[in-house]
Amino acid sequence: MENKNIKNEVNLIEISEYIKFGITKNSTTLITNSLESYNYTKLPYEFENRYLYTLIYAYYQKNTLLEFEKDLKQNVNYKKRRKELLSFINNECIKEITKENIGSKLYKEWKKEIEFDKLYLKTFEKYETEYKNERFQKGKRNTKIMWVIILICIIINIINVITLLNLPK
């Protein structure tokens, strides 16, 4: 029973017959054997110096999105934070951070495992909804101002007509 639950929670990525990565929401494990010297000499070094930083970067991206979402709930300077969110998305989320096949594969799996895309869409949609509401409110205010101006113009025109009618001939 427990074995089936573990298999459902752990995402295994097979790099080769003797190199596998076990990925969960909280951790990543490098699984190798000792038949090849590369597996216990160079591979752990590569993992610590290449892939580990990619994992940390994925967590950084997720935590930054969580901060943006928290700031929106607390109404912290919405306009400034929206600009920062768009900048963050353009500079940090869209670009590929590694050109290496294994690194790219791991990065995609880590982002999928920590549900980055769901959080990204949820946060971005909230900011866009807030932005549209703000634009709508500005439009309502502008409409009210236009109605006031139209009423003032009508009143001035009525006064002009009355004064023109009352002029001596």
* pLDDT at site 169: 61
Domain ranges of the chain: 2-165
* pLDDT at site 142: 83
* pLDDT at site 52: 83
Cβ atoms of residues 119 and 111 within 8 Å: no
* pLDDT at site 1: 46
Tokens encoding 18: 């003797």
The DSSP H or E segment spanning 19 is strand 19-23
Low-confidence ranges of the chain (pLDDT < 70): 1-8, 76, 167, 169
* pLDDT at site 156: 92
* pLDDT at site 154: 92
* pLDDT at site 124: 85
Instruction: Check: pTM over 0.75? Answer yes or no.
Output: no
